[in-house]
Amino acid sequence: MKTLQDTTVLHNGIKMPWFGLGVFKVEEGQEVINSVKWAIEAGYKSIDTAAIYKNEEGVGQAIKEAGVPREELFITTKVWNKDQGYESTLAAFETSMEKLGLEYLDLYLVHWPVKGKYKETWRALEKLYKDGKVKAIGVSNFNVHHLEDILADCEIKPMVNQVEYHPRLAQKELLLFCKDNGIQMEAWSPLMQGELLDEPTLVELAQKYGKSVAQIILRWDLQNGVVTIPKSIKKHRIVENADIFDFELSLEDMAKIDGLNEDRRIGPDPDNFDF
């Protein structure tokens, strides 16, 4: 991981950037268009959206306006919970693709493990993958038991699991399970939505390395082998967040950050959600 363009190789051989921009809670229209364009200008290749973010059109518009060849980019979207099921997922995929204005998608994710539905949803993703409409398929918010359930009888193993991951929620067991099974883990809310920025240990490390707290956290993700997709709507932060390829945290400092784990979530619990 030496540059912003460096990639991990998914188990099907597809290259996925280690770093990208998330656009959760970024407004459709000029706000999302600007954020995505600034990111691409700054060298980002990967953009993470979802049907439920209601900004896929703006993401697509920004991609067109950025003028970068499509094949250089890595675009992720996700099927929302109410659309889960086989036929409804296939239809939701077409709607997302129309909004994005893309010929193919790089990564399609099952957004949450909706009980009684996610396996049918997964069959639809397998079909989209086999039809060549999406380069890679994966899941999001899956715990070990959800993954075991999918792995028990899937035809194609998920390539990615995108989960809440930051120094307060280090997810050691899940990360190990994903690594053992060739599933790339990806961090959502890597900055704990801004809540960790004045944590004293992180502030001290930021001073030591001459970096910001956000940069220390994002570097910790990468050194743990976790893809990361921080969100910002501010140009200077979009640039700052990606400037993490010129330093390395020592093993001792990695361990200090590991020590901040409290198994504490900022988002919903995948074993107990009702949406």
Residues that bind ligand NAP (CB under 6 A): 22-24, 48, 111, 140-141, 162, 188-194, 197, 212, 214, 229-234, 237, 240-241, 267
Annotated catalytic residue within 53, 108, 118, 129 = 53
- Cβ proximity to ligand NAP, 131 vs 190, nearer residue: 190
Contact 21, 53 (CB under 8 A): no
3-state SS, 187-213, equals EECCCHHHCCCCCHHHHHHHHHHCCCH
Tell the smallest beta-carbon distance from residue 2 to ligand NAP (Å). Answer: 21
The answer on whether 111 is annotated among ligand-binding residues is yes
> For residues 198 and 260, what is the distance between their CA atoms, to the nearest angstrom?
13
> Considering beta carbons, is residue 130 or 234 the nearer one to ligand NAP?
234
CA 1 to CA 38: how far, in whole Å?
Answer: 22
Nearer to ligand NAP, 132 or 210 (CB): 210
Q: Which is nearer to ligand NAP, 30 or 251 (CB)?
A: 30
The nearer residue to ligand NAP, 35 or 61, going by C-beta atoms, is 35
How far is Cα 139 from Cα 119, in angstroms, rounded to an integer?
A: 11
Our answer to whether residue 53 is catalytic in this structure is: yes
CB of 243 to ligand NAP, least distance (A): 10
Amino acid at the residue 165: Y
d(CA 111, CA 84): 9
Q: How far is the CB of 240 from ligand NAP (least distance, A)?
A: 5
State in angstroms the smallest separation of the CB of 242 from ligand NAP.
10
Residue pair 224/257 in contact by the 8 Å Cβ criterion:
no
Residue nearest to ligand NAP (CB): 22
Instruction: Please count the helices (runs of H) and the strands (runs of E) in the chain.
Output: 10, 10
The closest alpha carbon to 109, from 129, 120, 125, belongs to 125
**Kind plus residue range of the DSSP H or E element containing 161:** strand 160-164
In the bound complex, what is the minimum distance in angstroms from residue 139's beta carbon to ligand NAP? 9
Q: Which residue has the tokens 């086999």?
A: 130
Could you give the CA distance from residue 67 to residue 58 in angstroms, rounded to a whole number? Answer: 15
Which CA distances in Å does 27 have to 54, 110, 181?
8, 22, 36
Rg (CA), the chain: 18
Structure tokens at 137: 């398929």
Give me the active site residues, please.
53
Residues that constitute the known binding site for substrate: 111
> Which residues make up each annotated binding site?
111
